[in-house]
Amino acid sequence: MFNWVQPNQLLNVFSDIGVIMLMFIGGLESNLTLLRRFFKPAIVVALCGVIMPVIFMGGAAMAFHFSAFEAAYIGVIFSATSVSISVAVLREYHALDTSEGATILGAAVADDIVGVILLSVMISLMGTQGLKTSGQHTDIVLILLEQVAFFGGTYLVVRWVAPYLMSISEKLLMNSSVTIMSMVICLGMAWIADAVGLSGAVGAFFAGIAVAHSPYRELMEAHMEPIGYAAFIPLFFVGIGLSMSFRYLGQSLGLIVIMTILACLTKLLGCGLGARLTGFSLHSSYVIGSGMISRGEMGMITVQIGLQSGLLSNATYSKMVLVIILATMIAPFMLKRALKPSKKELAPVSDQR
C-alpha cells in the first residue's frame, strides 16, 4: 500500500521456507486416528465441501470471464479448509469433544489431503500443458510416471521409512537429533516433490503426516512451531502482502463480494449436506458447515503457489487473497451463531456415534 518495502531474494527464500514449514506443521497436526474414528462422516463432509466450491466458485469465475484453467484453480483454492480459528471457537464453547467437533476436525484432515492432491494435479496439468505446446510428449509421460512414483514412495515413507529414521535419530549422540532428522525428512520430501514437478509444499505436508506417525509427534509440534514462527512463517505472510496490489480492486468490488458470499455458502451448504447425509440433525449439520468455512493459511498457501507457478495472474491473486481474508473473518461469527443456542444439545463424543 505504501510501497516502502520491496520483495527481494532473501525475503523470497525465507517465504518459500515458510510455506514448507507451515505445510509440515499442518501435516504434523493431521490427526489420522481421529479421521479413522469418524471416517464415514469426515470423508463425506470433506468431499461435499470440496466438490461444491470447485463447481460453483469455478463456475462463477468463468462467468466473470476467467480462463477455464484459472477458474478451475480458483475452485481448488476455495476447496481448502483451515480449522485453526474454528478450533478456538469450539474450545471456547466446550464443543471440541462432541461428535460435531470431532467430525469438523476429521473432515479438515481429509479436506487438507484432498486439497493437496488437487493442488498437485493442477500443477502437473500446468507443467504438461507447457510441454504439449512445445511438442515434448515423451517428457509428459515421464513426469506423470515420476509423480505416481512419488505418491507410491510417500506411502512407504509414511508407513515405514520416517518412523524408522526417527527411532534411529534418538540414538545419535548429538543435541536435538530427533528435530534435525524431522527437518531432513521435511526438506528431503519437499525437494523430491519439486524435482518431479510438484510443489515443495506438497512434499512437506506428507512429510508432516509421516513424522506424525512416529512416537515423536508431540515433541515435533513443540519444536517446529518456534522454528517456523520465529521468522520463516511470518515472512511468508509478509510476502503475500507485498505481492498484493490494490490497483485492480476498485473495479472488481462486485466480483469480490460475490466470491466472498459463495466462499461462505459453498462450504456451509456443501459440508452441511455431507453431515446431513451421514445422519446428523439439521442443526448439527449447520454447526459442521459453519466450522468448515474458514480458509485461512491453507487458502493463502494455495493462492501463493498459484502465483509462483503461473497459474494465477497478479490481478487475480490480489482479488483472491482479499476474498480469503474476508471469508476467514466471517467464519468465526457464523460458527459462534451456530453454537450459541446449542451448548446443551451437543453431547460428548462418547455419548454419540
How does residue 347 score in pLDDT terms, banded at 50, 70 and 90?
Answer: low
CB atoms within 10 A of CB 225: 15
Q: Is 126 a residue whose pLDDT tops 80?
A: no
Cα distances from 63 to residues 52, 101, 128, 129, in angstroms, run 16, 36, 26, 23
| Rg of the chain taking only CA atoms, in angstroms | 20
Read off the pLDDT of each residue in 103-124 and give the average, rounded to a whole number: 88
Angle 75-78-82 from CA coordinates, rounded to 5°: 155
Q: Is 118 a residue whose pLDDT tops 80?
A: yes
Of the options 3.40.50.300, 1.20.1530.20, 3.40.1000.10, 3.40.50.2300, the CATH number for the domain spanning 9-129+145-339: 1.20.1530.20
Least confident of 28-37, 53-62, 195-204: 28-37
Q: Give this prediction's pTM.
A: 0.86
Average model confidence (pLDDT) across the chain:
88
pLDDT digits (tens, 9 = 90+) for 25-50: 989 988 777 788 888 999 999 999 99
Q: Is 351 a residue whose pLDDT tops 60?
A: no
Q: Is 225 a residue whose pLDDT tops 70?
A: yes
Surface-to-core class of residue 283, CB atoms within 10 Å of its CB (0-12 exposed, 13-18 middle, 19+ buried):
middle
CA 201/CA 75 separation, integer angstroms:
19
Helix (H, G, I), strand (E, B) or coil at 292: coil
Helix (H, G, I), strand (E, B) or coil at 348: strand
pLDDT at 38: 86
Which amino acid is located at 185 in the chain?
Answer: I
pLDDT digits (tens, 9 = 90+) for 14-26: 999 999 999 999 8
Read off the pLDDT of each residue in 194-211 and give the average, rounded to a whole number: 91
Q: How far, in whole angstroms, is CA 249 from its chain's centroid?
A: 25
Helix (H, G, I), strand (E, B) or coil at 314: helix
Contacts of 279 (CB under 8 A, 6+ apart): 41
Q: Is 51 a residue whose pLDDT tops 80?
A: yes
Angle between helices 233-243 and 9-28 (to 10 degrees): 120
Angle 121-57-236 from CA coordinates, rounded to 5°: 60
Read off the pLDDT of each residue in 259-279 and give the average, rounded to a whole number: 96
Q: Which three cell numbers stand for residue 242?
A: 507485498
